[in-house]
Structure 1
Amino acid sequence: MTKSEDKKPPISKRPKLRLKQREDRGVMLRLVKRMFRENAHRFVRQYAIAIVCLVLIAGTTAFLAWIMRDVIDEIFVEGNRTAIVTLPIIVFLTFVVRGFASYGQGVLLARIGNNIVARYQRRLFEKLTELSVDFFADNRSAHLAARINQNVSGIRDTLNLTITSLARDVLSLIFLVGVMIWQDPILSAIALLAAPPITIMIATLARKLRTVTREVIDVNARVLASMQEAAQGITVVKAFTMERPLRDRLEVLVRTAEARSNRVAAISERTTPVTEVVAGLAIASVIAYSGYRAIVFGYSPGAMFAFITALLLAYDPARRLAKLQVQLERAMVNAAMIYEILDLEPRQADKPTARPLVLTTGEISFDAVTFSYHAGEAVLNGISFTAPAGRTTALIGASGGGKSTIISLMQRFYDVEKGAIRVDGTDIRDITKASLRTQIAYVPQSPYLFEGTIRDNIRLGRMDASDADIEDAARKAQAEEFILRQPLGYDTPLGENGITLSGGQRQRLSIARALVRNAPILLLDEATSALDTRSETLVQEALENAMKDRTTIVVAHRLSTIVNADQILVIDGGEIAEGGTHEELVDRPKGLYARFYALQTRRQGDDILPLA
């Protein structure tokens, strides 16, 4: 901490600071209530048993202090032979009860905590799969995963800290203070003078820690995200000799994270020296005063020993309680960041009145659709067209013209700004997203494969597909030949995103996944872009068979793949520049399609537009 950070705020700003502190306390209190409301009722029996165990720990701890008076007076002062047998047995049994109670509460709270973490991991994954595509466009996936990984334990820690502190530490302190007061009220008053200064100091540090903890979480998430991105893109890293620049960038993040973590440690551990000094002064004063009274006035050594034992045993729960607010602040910052994600509402949420899509013919129409990813930068400008049912509509044009955006809007990854998209005359905003997407098979430009075997990845297209269905789809996608060459065939595990396969092989698996879905609407976004000439020819034949009797929208750069389309639309600047069949468009010598075709067939023409 710098000197400027330790200075008190100006008097004029203090009312605002106090208001902010009250608001923060209110937010944290609501957060704790929410956590207990969502979780406590699920573990009533387990928490009840754990609390009983914690009460036993607190009670046995206080009992050990209380019995020290009889141990000293009966055995060492009075020489009671019976007590030599009974009191050690009682002490031993007390430790046995304490040990089993500690084991019980430890195991129960760990199980509860693990279950809470597992449930929130499920909730987070469910929420992430519900959120719209634009959320992931705004948040880097690696950073998001790293942040969640750090935050997910916050709710567990908050609940467990609260339970153990209230049922063990608070009760232990109350019981031990009760023993101290019972033994000697005056000495108790001396010892308890340490409480107010420690409480004030902890409250001050907790406020500072709240902001710093969030900063540490964010920076650590960036560190983990950078490592994950480097691992995912290792071939690019090595191909472009990016090792040194990435190490330098990571070094800056690591140093920042280290500095922030050191700051958190410095703030968190400030409680230790102050607590030790104040508690040491109180304990030393009690020992000195009790020793003086025992020597001068002949007070019972048993009572003094019991009091000092209770005081020393009370120090441990008092020390934990002194750090409790600091620990809770850190845990609740993590918990709050989890709820920030859980409370997000999908931008493309279903309407309350949304109904399932009942497909009749499968006709798709775009009616004056306008859309932009960023305000003022329209990608589509009032585009209108109809994709006839059971026919193939091809979209071509220069990159950035809006072709892939049409594919995304069709699946309602985004909502249109103006106009409407209809399936069989029904606005897709009036039907459920799930029912819409189950009627669509989609092959993206960049294929993505998931953890699991080749068979598992194809089956993701339709989870009830049989092995025969999967193998038939693979054959139609011209994928079976290379699949059977794999070590375990269809049951071969894939590396991350199928890194051991070529781009064309990954694309053919993606096509097989779409084919096994057997949906009435087929969307192909550059489906053959990653294939070599031989594979493209084979897959194109398979796709032509798959497109029969299906409403198909295909985005393509290679015109050879769409010459047989029922209609071809040329997209330019977010608008439809021209449309027709291949023969009709080629016969327009000054049309965009004719120029694209001339370029790809290596015929020279005027003002040829590149397919960049």
Structure 2
Amino acid sequence: MPSPKPSLSDEHTRGEAFRLLKRIIAENGREHVRAYALAVAAMVLVAGTTAFLAWIMRDVIDEIFVAGNPAMLISLPVAVFLTFLIRGAATYVQGVVLSRIGNDIVARYQRRLFSHLTELSVDFFGENRSAQLAARISQNVTGVRDTLNLTVTSIARDLLTLLFLIGVMIWLDPVLSAIALLAGPPIGIMIARLARKLRKATRQSVDLNARVLGAMQETAQGIQVVKAFTMEAPLRERTEKLILAAEERANRIAIVTERSGPVTETIAGLAIAGVIAWSGYRAIEYGHSPGAMFGFITALLLAYDPARRLARLQVQLERALVNARMIYEILDLMPRQADAPGAPALAVPRGEIVFEGVTFAYHPGDPVLRNVSFTAPAGCTTALVGASGGGKSTIIALIERFHDLPQGRILIDGQDISTVSKASLRSQIAYVPQAPTLFEGTIRENIRYGRPAATDAEVEEAARQAQAQEFILAQPLGYETPVGEGGATLSGGQRQRLSIARALLRNAPILLLDEATSALDNRSETLVQAALETAMKDRTVIVVAHRLSTIVNADQILVVDRGAIAERGTHDELVGRPDGLYAGLHGLQRTRAENAPALEETR
């Protein structure tokens, strides 16, 4: 019965796989051409010595056991020993060289991925869960290495070994060779069908495993919340479902992958049994040389392993290509906020910031900002206040150009920030986020991220200005104390003061504060507020404030309500409008402050 014709989708998929393989070779082959040449030379030696062992078996049987030639008792064993010696050395060289190439490829792609991820826009990380992204990358990054190594070893070692052994078999007995080679076509057809089934299952398995690892990472990062809200049981139940799904998909892959084993063994067994029966019949009936028969069977048995690996190559290569393809899906993503060709650097002689008719939405049809226009004068402090969700933090993000505008413009000293390079824009801005973020390393390293070229004295001066010196020196190793994962060894207020120190060290003309004192207690807030007032001098400052007491002296206060500027003025001007939003917020906070001592006494 004729096999079904491949569908257009199958042909497209094979073409895509070929293009991906070509790309992988083009990106990595030239870099490692000498190392691959050495590995291929070693594989050729392995293939040649394997074929030689089969070929020499004829002389071993005929000259020693049949003819009884004593002269061969030394030369043939020595030849076999030297063959194994060369084969062992070549196998060692091949293994070491391929491992070093593979490790270098993994390291190169890890560097490429990290560099590319840092170039992608904030939107990408908002749309992709970071834990799953990290887990997916850790699984997929070996796909390129495996693809290359499988290709090289299959061609240079397995294919050459098989061809050399087939050559020995044909040299010894062409008829028996034809019988043995009949097993090839049915095995090839079966493997092609299995590879098509495996492709989809492998991708699903990678996604599921990434979700499992992502769930575990998120649980570890939020373990205090998990325990505080007794979330262990529901999280275990949710993760258990993911694990079961991943296990089921892995079992499916194992079934599909190993399905070739019984069929391959059966067909190969029939071929080998037929060869033994036919060669034995000819030896008994016609007196054919037992050495030639033994050499042929040796070559056939030695050819079985490389033939089996080649038969499984498409299945293994398909799995490696799925992982490689998922890596390239990330590498091929273009940053949404790419710099325009030849974008100039931003020059900030004064630091004036102007919003002109800015409208912005994270999701189509749901604008966060609506036709926002205002000017933040150079060297002055502009405060943004209002209810949560009104768009204050979005204004800060847009100044940093974390998102591009569909409508309106943002100007700094008359320059549209969408036309200048992002690096030059952000180098002129110091930023303190609402949630302090620390990175793996020491306290000194985390502050120095504000300006990597800063001296130790400048780092310590920034810490003093941020009122962080006292608790830093109380740490076991002072400035060299590791902060732990995300600053886990420090309190929220301590992390925020280090974040402020990092911004102060940057010494930029524009300072953005997104509720920078929200995580501080009253004492720390008082100290840091004094430091911030010093740091704000001669800088353009935009501050998002929750506590109105911290912005009483701001040069300009903008009340942001439902994506629009509802009120603007100084503190005294806005308080003087009894029906205004700012006056209402101020009155509410003042009432709370007046009642705080009574509440404390009651406690």
1:138 equivalent to 2:127? Answer yes
1:549 equivalent to 2:538? Answer yes
Q: Distance in 1 between matches of 2:278 and 2:218?
A: 64
Q: Distance in 2 between matches of 1:222 and 1:247?
A: 14
Could you report, residue by residue, the CA deviation over 1:344-370 in whole angstroms, capped at 9, with x for unpaired residues? 001111011311111111110000000
Using the size of structure 2 for normalisation, the TM-score is 0.97
Q: Secondary structure at the match of 2:125?
A: helix
1:514 equivalent to 2:492? Answer no
1:583 equivalent to 2:583? Answer no
**Is the 1:441–1:522 contact (alpha carbons within 8 Å) kept by the matching residues of 2?**
yes
Tell me the amino acid that sits aligned with residue 462 of structure 2: A
**Is the 1:454–1:491 contact (alpha carbons within 8 Å) kept by the matching residues of 2?**
yes
Could you report, residue by residue, the CA deviation over 1:174-225 in whole angstroms, capped at 9, with x for unpaired residues? 0000100110011011101100100000000001100000000000000000
Q: Distance in 1 between matches of 2:519 and 2:187?
A: 67
Using the size of structure 1 for normalisation, the TM-score is 0.96
1:308 equivalent to 2:297? Answer yes
Could you report, residue by residue, the CA deviation over 1:38-69 in whole angstroms, capped at 9, with x for unpaired residues? 00000111011110000000000000000000
1:505 corresponds to which residue?
494
Q: 2:112 aligns with which of 123, 128, 149?
A: 123
1:402 equivalent to 2:412? Answer no
Could you report, residue by residue, the CA deviation over 1:390-422 in whole angstroms, capped at 9, with x for unpaired residues? 110000000000000000000000011100001
1:609 corresponds to which residue?
none
Q: Distance in 1 between matches of 2:125 and 2:171?
A: 63
Q: Distance in 2 between matches of 1:27 and 1:214?
A: 15
**Is the 1:353–1:430 contact (alpha carbons within 8 Å) kept by the matching residues of 2?**
no
Q: Secondary structure at the match of 2:591?
A: coil
Q: Secondary structure at the match of 1:601?
A: helix
Q: What does 1:23-42 correspond to in 2, within 5 Å?
A: 23-42=12-31
Could you report, residue by residue, the CA deviation over 1:126-146 in whole angstroms, capped at 9, with x for unpaired residues? 010000000000000000000
Q: What does 1:14-163 correspond to in 2, within 5 Å?
A: 18-163=7-152
1:491 corresponds to which residue?
480
Tell me the amino acid that sits aligned with residue 516 of structure 1: L
Q: Secondary structure at the match of 1:81?
A: coil
Q: 2:452 aligns with which of 450, 460, 463?
A: 463
Q: 2:211 aligns with which of 205, 222, 227?
A: 222
1:478 corresponds to which residue?
467
Q: Secondary structure at the match of 2:367?
A: strand
1:192 equivalent to 2:181? Answer yes
Say how many residue pairs are matched: 592
Q: Distance in 2 between matches of 1:265 and 1:459?
A: 50
Q: CA deviation at 1:603?
A: 7.8
1:442 equivalent to 2:451? Answer no
Q: Distance in 2 between matches of 1:371 and 1:181?
A: 75
Q: CA deviation at 1:500?
A: 1.6
Q: What does 1:295-444 correspond to in 2, within 5 Å?
A: 295-444=284-433
Could you report, residue by residue, the CA deviation over 1:247-274 in whole angstroms, capped at 9, with x for unpaired residues? 1111100000000000000000011111
2:233 corresponds to which residue?
244
Q: 1:180 aligns with which of 163, 169, 172?
A: 169
Could you report, residue by residue, the CA deviation over 1:554-586 in whole angstroms, capped at 9, with x for unpaired residues? 000100110010000000011000101111111
Q: Distance in 2 between matches of 1:57 and 1:359?
A: 66
**Is the 1:392–1:547 contact (alpha carbons within 8 Å) kept by the matching residues of 2?**
yes
Could you report, residue by residue, the CA deviation over 1:465-524 in whole angstroms, capped at 9, with x for unpaired residues? 111111111111011111111110110011111112111111001000101111110000
Q: Distance in 2 between matches of 1:573 and 1:47?
A: 62
Q: 2:517 aligns with which of 502, 523, 528?
A: 528
Q: Secondary structure at the match of 2:82?
A: helix
Q: 2:582 aligns with which of 570, 593, 607?
A: 593
Q: Extract unaligned runs of 5+ from structure 1.
A: 1-10, 605-612
Tell me the amino acid that sits aligned with residue 525 of structure 2: E
Q: Distance in 2 between matches of 1:565 and 1:416?
A: 28
Q: Secondary structure at the match of 2:7?
A: helix
**Is the 1:443–1:510 contact (alpha carbons within 8 Å) kept by the matching residues of 2?**
yes
Q: Secondary structure at the match of 1:519?
A: coil
